[in-house]
Amino acid sequence: MSVTTVSSREFNQDASGAKRAAQNGPVFITDRGRPAHVLLTIDDYRRLSASAGSIVELLGMSGTEPIEFEPQRLEGELYRPADLS
């Protein structure tokens, strides 16, 4: 996979060239030298967006037993004054 970078002006002058380049990897389109947009093929976009899942699904760890967790209680002061000397 190759990454191509084109300026906004180059993209406007040759959009079909940018589309051809997107077949080989993402095309970064810059505004004033800074990346502003990314051109992807629809297959790449679908692959990237389908793999995410929700945070609940990602953290769910289905098929595992619940983990019992009993943290130790803190004793004493929870803070102390800063030593600025």
CATH of the domain at 8: 3.40.1620.10
Is a pLDDT exceeding 90 seen at residue 43? yes
Is a pLDDT exceeding 80 seen at residue 35? yes
Residue whose pair of structure tokens reads 């996979």 in the numeric block = 1
Domain count, the chain: 1
In this structure, what DSSP letter does residue 17 have? H
Residue 65 lies in a domain: no
Q: 9 lies in which domain range?
A: 4-52
Residue 64 lies in a domain: no
CA–CA dist 48, 2 (Å, integer): 17
pTM: 0.59
Cβ–Cβ under 8 Å, residues 11 and 29: yes
Is a pLDDT exceeding 70 seen at residue 31? yes
CA–CA dist 41, 71 (Å, integer): 49
What is the arithmetic mean of pLDDT over 41-57? 80
Residue 81 lies in a domain: no
pLDDT for the residue numbered 61 = 65
The residue with greater pLDDT, 74 or 53, is 74
Is a pLDDT exceeding 80 seen at residue 20? yes
Residue 74 lies in a domain: no
Residue 82 lies in a domain: no
Residue 73 lies in a domain: no
